[in-house]
Chain A
Amino acid sequence: MSLLNRTAGALYRRPRLRLSLLLTAPLLWLAVLYLGSLSVLFVSAFWTTDSFTSEVVKVWSTDNFHELFTVPVYRQVVLRSIGVALAVTVLCAVIAFPLAFYTARVARPKWRPLLVVAILTPLWASYLVKVYAWRLILSQGGLADWMLKPFGLSGPGFGLPAAVLTLTYLWLPYMVLPIHTALEQLPANLLDASADLGARAGRTFRSVVLPMVLPSVAAGSIFTFSLSLGDYITVQIVGGKTQLIGNLVYSNIELNLPMAAALGTVPVVVIVVYLLAMRRTGALSSL
């Protein structure tokens, strides 16, 4: 007991020691497993393959990156992937905002937790089940076609729009949740104060609600953006012939591992840039 007390006392007096003991295990894990594998990825991106045997040749060269920037297909795929991630993010934000506004401020308080649970429920279902469900919905003569038929339209079929749509569905809860939380925590007296100073509802929304919730939109966008950028299964199932970075990585792994590594660094770099951009909005502190 006294030993325990003495240890506790010593730890209390030495915050640095306490901190280092606390952080050692997770930091080791992060350094070895995560950063380690990332650096292996990065280093192997500078190797090449013997085009005849497909063996990895551990010779330093920047050919892969050179190829990445000069071969039109690669450039197209990279730009398309970023475009898809951005489109999914924008769609999620546009759909999530009114939804969260309803669950956080319009619905009766006793219904709110239930509505949040309802929004989160899809996260408990298997990813593949949901994507195959969308494959059924979007297939020829499927639900989408059937519902649009009375208007003389047909569903988008399989392709890029279908991939964007499905990804939007998949990641929507990650956007709704932070916005819901921010809206729910918005102090009512700030809205009162705004009206008190002469602002009508629209003005209050633009000048008070939106700026205060924007960091949470940015926080949600980090999820939707990075999850979309890393996805390659959805696009395989509903994307028709569409190729995204993930698909190229996947198809290169067997034949040209260094090229796959070079391709794999692209989303990492893009996401780091995206995070840095979002940090300016204060999104990281509202995660």
Chain B
Amino acid sequence: MEGIAIRLRDLRKSFGETTAVAGVDLEIRDGEFFSMLGPSGSGKTTVLRMIAGFESPTGGTIELAGQDVTGLAPFERDVHTVFQDYALFPHMTVEQNVAYGLKVRGVPKSERLARARQALAEVRLEGYGARRPAQLSGGQRQRVALARALVGRPRLLLLDEPLGALDLKLREQMQVELKALQREVGITFVFVTHDQEEALTMSDRIAVFDQGRIQQVGTPAEVYERPATPFVASFVGTSNLLAGEAAERIVGTTGTYSIRPEKIRVLKDSEGAGEPDHESAAGTVAEVVYLGDSTRFLVDLDAGGRLTALQQNLETSAEDVAAYRGSRVRLRWHRRHTVHVPDPR
């Protein structure tokens, strides 16, 4: 049996004139790694804060494990939060920070110290217990915040862009660690991010937010391969849309279509047309961007519009690539990669 960890029904929140969350319906399953992805200001943090209880909704209900908690205070909910800026208590040591939740709940001293040490070991911070938060690096602080939220074994962990402040290396390392930790402890994670790659690599499912609404909920593959709205198509992955007249000429019907850049092959103008089950379009290379392991081609189509194609640099080098600029090419992709994107409404 798979239970429902969170159920949001028509959740709304306004701050005076601004509407931060405009009606969100969502179900998150037990043990899921669920990500909320969306641009800045799309209402992700506000939804998270309402689930935690820091903000009371203007409308709608919140259920945690089948119980309506809409009117309950944060300390009455079995939810812990990892804050974007960690929110560690500066006057306490690392160990006291981690043990705080247990202390509040009256866990005896020896037990809570033992559990705090164990939680610090889980995030690989043994031996740091006596330090103050100010004496730690950003990544270490982030792990203390994680340990503090995990030590009480909540049913649900909310993480608000916890990796936002880290450099790329540490960030990738923490992504792997977080995912492993979640599998190990089996807690439901709700993970807020505006980094689509992070959401795609870590999540079981993703909700894509825009302007206080959910645009699409699905597995990373669903969201990436079959975007439900033009917004999702452009926000997740590189924006590559065919619309209007160009769509009619190339695909044959009107509407909006999304083609992922890595599905498109760049060929010489003379070859490649008329392959069965394939679509193709001629154009001029407007720009080439050498990315090291691959090259990005921006092609202005004769039919109108512009497509981006991504090619692995199997044999080409930076110099070869530069020669493409301004040349005539033909783009070709398999018909099944032309994904119809329904217009909103």
Question: Which residues in A have some Cβ–Cβ distance to B below 8 Å?
Answer: 187, 189-190, 192-200, 203, 207-208, 211-212
Contact = CB atoms under 8 A, between A and B. Distances in A.
Nearest to B158: A196
Contact of B52 (A187, A196, A198, A200): A196
Contacts of A196: 52-54, 74-75, 79-81
17 contacts: A187-B87, A189-B83, A192-B74, A192-B81, A193-B88, A194-B100, A195-B53, A195-B54, A195-B75, A196-B53, A196-B54, A196-B80, A198-B101, A198-B152, A199-B104, A203-B104, A211-B91
A32 B101 CA distance: 55
Contacts of B74: 192, 195-196
Contacts of A194: 89, 100
A190 to B, nearest CB: 6
B83 A198 contact: no
B226 to A, nearest CB: 36
Chain A contact residues, majority secondary structure: helix
B244 to A, nearest CB: 47
Interface residues of B, number: 22
Contacts of B204: none
Contact of A198 (B75, B85, B87): B75
A34 B83 CA distance: 50
B135 to A, nearest CB: 15
Given A189-B83, A203-B104, A207-B100, A195 B89 contact: no
Interface in B4-60: 52-54
A197 B148 contact: yes
A193 B89 contact: yes
Contacts of A198: 75, 101, 104-105, 152
Contacts of B91: 211-212
A93 B101 CA distance: 30
Contacts of A211: 91
A203 B100 CA distance: 11
A200 B101 CA distance: 11
B51 to A, nearest CB: 11
A197 B148 CA distance: 9
